[in-house]
A and B are shown apart, each in its own frame.
Chain A
Amino acid sequence: DAKTTQPPSMDCAEGRAANLPCNHSTISGNEYVYWYRQIHSQGPQYIIHGLKNNETNEMASLIITEDRKSSTLILPHATLRDTAVYYCIVRVAGSARQLTFGSGTQLTVLP
């Protein structure tokens, strides 16, 4: 699976959009970009995933650059409950393999 690079921490004001970047310059054509988050002491939570098109669900939007070497997770209206570690993971599509978690980005939503 391709390696990802994320900033270690970010702050965001409550109610504003949180934009979390991820670099995955070695991603290959059959690898998806996944985002999970872990709120303190809880199990990780799936957020969204995509291949090359932008994706949106009730939690977030995922913007993948045209060359697929980077992506941005967008939480449109961050709340205090969105404070968590966010993990960007790249893995082969259609496989049931394990997830490889890096160190992620600690997002702190400030009141």
Chain B
Amino acid sequence: NAGVMQNPRHLVRRRGQEARLRCSPMKGHSHVYWYRQLPEEGLKFMVYLQKENIIDESGMPKERFSAEFPKEGPSILRIQQVVRGDSAAYFCASSPGAGSEEQYFGPGTRLTVT
């Protein structure tokens, strides 16, 4: 059973460009979480999604950031008009569903904004 997959693993964008980060959850998992880890800081929750629904986006910046988890395909975290402060590691985690205690994390996408 393949683990959580994220791509790309490394992404370089110039200021003002768009970044798209993809996350494929583990097989059978219907819940996806996105976390951000700024350099030398801890992991911070961004958004929690189920298929076709955003359940909790309380950790998402109000502007430029959006997330989706369509019926088919991976979950996408989209950052528009990136700025240098968006440079971070973005981790995706998945779980089977409500009542499941563990979240399984992907290897992360390292975003560098130049």
Range, interface on chain A: 20 to 34
Instruction: A43 to B102: give the CA distance in the assembly, Å.
Output: 14
By the criterion CB–CB under 8 Å, are B101 and A49 in contact? yes
By the criterion CB–CB under 8 Å, are B100 and A96 in contact? yes
Q: Inside 8 A of B98's CB, which chain A residues have their CB? A: 94-96
Interface string of A7-19 (1 = CB under 8 A from B): 0000000000000
Q: A34-B101, A97-B56 are in contact. Are A43 and B108 (CB under 8 A)?
A: yes
The chain A residue with its CB closest to the CB of B95 is A96
* Total number of B residues with any Cβ neighbor in A under 8 Å: 28
By the criterion CB–CB under 8 Å, are A96 and B48 in contact? yes
Minimum Cβ distance to chain B for residue A28 (Å):
16
Mark the stretch among A58-66, A70-78, A98-106 that contacts chain B.
A98-106
Which B residues are closer than 8 A to A by beta carbons?
A: 4, 31, 33, 35, 42-45, 48, 55-56, 59, 89, 91, 93, 95, 97-108
User: Which one, A32, A45, A103, A104, contacts B101 given CB within 8 A?
Assistant: A32
The chain A residue with its CB closest to the CB of B4 is A43
A41 interface residue, CB < 8 Å from B? yes
Interface string of A71-98 (1 = CB under 8 A from B): 0000000000000000000000111111
Q: A44-B91, A44-B93 are in contact. List 5 more A-B contacts (CB 8 A).
A: A93-B101, A96-B55, A96-B95, A99-B45, A101-B44
By the criterion CB–CB under 8 Å, are B91 and A46 in contact? no
By the criterion CB–CB under 8 Å, are A101 and B48 in contact? no
Q: Inside 8 A of B55's CB, which chain A residues have their CB? A: 96
Q: Inside 8 A of A97's CB, which chain B residues have their CB? A: 48, 56
By the criterion CB–CB under 8 Å, are B101 and A98 in contact? no
Instruction: A97 to B43: give the CA distance in the assembly, Å.
Output: 15
By the criterion CB–CB under 8 Å, are B99 and A49 in contact? no
Instruction: A93 to B99: give the CA distance in the assembly, Å.
Output: 7
Q: Inside 8 A of A45's CB, which chain B residues have their CB? A: 105
User: Which one, B99, B103, B108, contacts A99 given CB within 8 A?
Assistant: B103
